[in-house]
Amino acid sequence: AYLTCRAAILGRNLGPRFIRVPANYNHNCSGKRRQPGRTMTNRIWLKNYPAGVPATIDVSAYESIRALFEESCAKYTTRPAFTCMGKSITFAELEALSAAFGAWLQAQGCKKGTRVALMMPNILQYPVCLFGTLRAGCTVVNVNPLYTARELEHQLTDSGAEVIVVVENFARTVAEVLGRTKVRRVIVTSIGELLGFKGIIVDLVLRHVKKMIPAWSLPEAVRLSDALAAERTGKLERVR
């Protein structure tokens, strides 16, 4: 048996550590003795489930996350799927936008398993690109937008990413390392790109008032809005 404890118990903040303990060990990470009968198999958390929430699910009901996503979009078309800075997109909008992005990836020659890096914070573009990538049959590579150039180069090289979507705030870092990676297509977006009129104000403030967008040059980059517009009527091929 393994007991996962934080090394702070030992007086040092060293992050998670795995400690081998006897199988009959009966203490938790706080040092307190476990109460008899209180095990994971009791599933004591079920009493806090709202009415109608099943205790178990059929994991074989869907062949993939894509199938679950597409069914949800068809079922909850008018409901808000994601909200950011007061702006929401519905499931129907998310389905259309992600399909357009997935079709754009396929039009660029992306095949099953192609690595697509997403370098952005939690904004509306993230789920659009995430589900679009998965629906195109590609593999998502999440990238910390705060990575230094050295860290980003390692991440892109190690993953074999061929496409990257980056918020313009961090485009300079991408420009610094692009030539030393396998990335062949760059899509640039802005914080406000999917926020409607509010987004115009947000981007204006970030660029010209707070000056949070360092100068960058990526001559072959494509704006996300242009990529989405180009494939709004395109066909997303199903990949198995």
Where the chain has pLDDT below 50, the residues are 1-19, 21, 25
DSSP bridge pairs for 185:
163
Q: What is the pLDDT of residue 59?
A: 86
The residues, any chain, with a CB within 8 Å of residue 10's CB and separated by 6 or more, are none
Q: What is the pLDDT of residue 234?
A: 76
Q: What is the pLDDT of residue 19?
A: 44
Q: What is the C-alpha separation between 85 and 193, in angstroms, rounded?
A: 12
The residues, any chain, with a CB within 8 Å of residue 202's CB and separated by 6 or more, are 85, 191, 192, 195
- The two most distant CA atoms of the chain are separated, in Å, by 65
Residue type, 206: L
Phi first, then psi: what are they for 189, rounded to 5°? -130, 175
Q: What is the pLDDT of residue 235?
A: 87
In Å, how far are 172, 179, 185, 197, 211 from 192, measured between CA atoms? 18, 28, 22, 9, 15
Q: What is the pLDDT of residue 94?
A: 98
